[in-house]
């Protein structure tokens, strides 16, 4: 998964994170829709657009760009796309551009042509390595993307605990668990999802994407048969990782006798 796609997924599932980056009230995200728009003239696509959902003409729309590699043409492209978008759609809101970098070393300013724009209040440049430690959950999730591999698990566990404490709706908590799990998988590709779930302390594995993917094929072929087959595979995979039957039964919410029966039965594969 590309880094920019990962960020856009965070913005899609937890839009408050974007406004927390800008030190704006998190509730402001409730008045925006995160989307993408195609500029038809040159087949440009603006992947990171926060468009207001109200008719307040003082409320700006945001063009968000994530850039993790040096690109001498970045600002030429951003402003070309922006002004073509303005010409084509003529939105009833002022514009703002937000560019997110891992650090200042990646940026290529091109100040000869863009100095006035880059230093205006309409453009915000964010360097993730300079963000101060904050309690905002969204900022913490975004910073996890650039966290070192050695510190990623500890940071992810802290964010999961924070999500449990600050996000009451179960559906939102599951979205955040999914985002955090995906970031860690992206950073530690040598580990399997079940290993990562264990390291993150996700005792309710039914909330994780790994568990849901394990059951996906079963749903397509038949609910009862598929679930049973997926359960068997899941139990065996956890056992291969060194989990005891008692631990597997607790993790999956299964009777211990059922787990033992699965492990004692011959593996047809």
The confidence score (pLDDT) of residue 219 equals 45
Strands 123-127 and 95-101: parallel
Q: Could you tell me which residue, 44 or 109, shows the higher pLDDT?
A: 109
Q: Which residues lie closer than 8 Å to 206 by C-beta, 6 or more apart?
A: 212, 252, 253
Q: State the CB neighbour count (10 A cutoff) for residue 195.
A: 15
Mean pLDDT of 261-265: 85
Q: What residues does each domain of the chain span?
A: 3-131, 205-264
pLDDT band for 5, please (50, 70, 90 cuts). confident
The confidence score (pLDDT) of residue 124 equals 97
* 199 alpha-carbon distance from chain centroid: 19
- Range of lowest pLDDT (148-162, 184-198, 228-242): 228-242
CA distances from 118 to 55, 65, 101 (A): 27, 14, 14
Contact assessment for residue 137 and residue 159, using Cβ atoms and an 8 Å cutoff? yes
Q: State the CB neighbour count (10 A cutoff) for residue 76.
A: 13
Q: Where are the beta strands (DSSP E) in the chain?
A: 32-39, 44-52, 61-66, 95-101, 123-127
The confidence score (pLDDT) of residue 90 equals 93
With a cut of 80, say whether residue 259 has pLDDT above it: yes
Instruction: Please state which of the four CATH numbers 3.40.50, 1.25.40, 3.40.1350, 3.30.310 is assigned to the domain occupying 3-131.
Output: 3.40.1350
Residues 246-269 as b or e (16 or more Cβ within 10 Å = b): ebbbebbebeeebbeebeeeeeee
Distance CA 239, CA 57 (A): 59
pLDDT band for 41, please (50, 70, 90 cuts). low
Q: Which two tokens stand for residue 94?
A: 């002022």
pLDDT band for 268, please (50, 70, 90 cuts). low
With a cut of 50, say whether residue 218 has pLDDT above it: no
With a cut of 70, say whether residue 200 has pLDDT above it: yes
The confidence score (pLDDT) of residue 253 equals 67
Of the chain, the percentage scoring pLDDT greater than 90 comes to 37
The confidence score (pLDDT) of residue 94 equals 97
pLDDT digits (tens, 9 = 90+) for 144-188: 988 888 888 889 999 988 888 887 766 667 788 888 888 888 888
The confidence score (pLDDT) of residue 208 equals 53
């Amino acid at each position: 998964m590309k880094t920019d796609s990962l960020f856009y997924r965070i913005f899609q599932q937890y839009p408050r994170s974007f406004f927390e980056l800008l030190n704006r009230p998190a509730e402001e995200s409730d008045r925006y829709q995160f989307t993408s728009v195609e500029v038809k003239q040159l087949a440009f696509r603006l992947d990171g657009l926060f468009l207001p959902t109200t008719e307040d003409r003082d409320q700006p729309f945001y063009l968000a760009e994530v850039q993790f590699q040096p690109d001498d043409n970045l600002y030429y492209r951003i402003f070309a796309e922006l002004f073509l978008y303005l010409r084509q759609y003529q939105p009833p809101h002022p514009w703002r551009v937000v560019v997110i970098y891992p650090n200042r070393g990646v940026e290529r300013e091109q100040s000869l042509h863009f100095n006035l724009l880059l230093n205006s209040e309409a453009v915000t440049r964010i360097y993730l390595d300079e963000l101060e430690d904050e309690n905002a959950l969204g900022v913490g999730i975004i910073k996890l993307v650039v966290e070192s591999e050695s510190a990623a698990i500890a940071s992810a566990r802290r964010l999961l605990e924070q999500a449990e404490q600050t996000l009451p709706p179960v559906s939102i908590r599951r979205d955040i668990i999914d985002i955090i799990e995906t970031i860690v998988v992206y950073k530690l590709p040598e580990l399997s999802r079940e290993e990562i779930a264990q390291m993150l302390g996700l005792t309710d594995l039914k909330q994780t994407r790994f568990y849901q993917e394990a059951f996906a094929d079963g749903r397509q072929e038949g609910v009862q048969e598929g679930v049973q087959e997926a359960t068997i595979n899941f139990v065996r995979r956890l056992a291969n990782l060194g989990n005891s039957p008692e631990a597997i039964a607790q993790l999956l919410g299964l009777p211990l006798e059922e787990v033992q029966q699965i492990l004692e039965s011959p593996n047809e594969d």
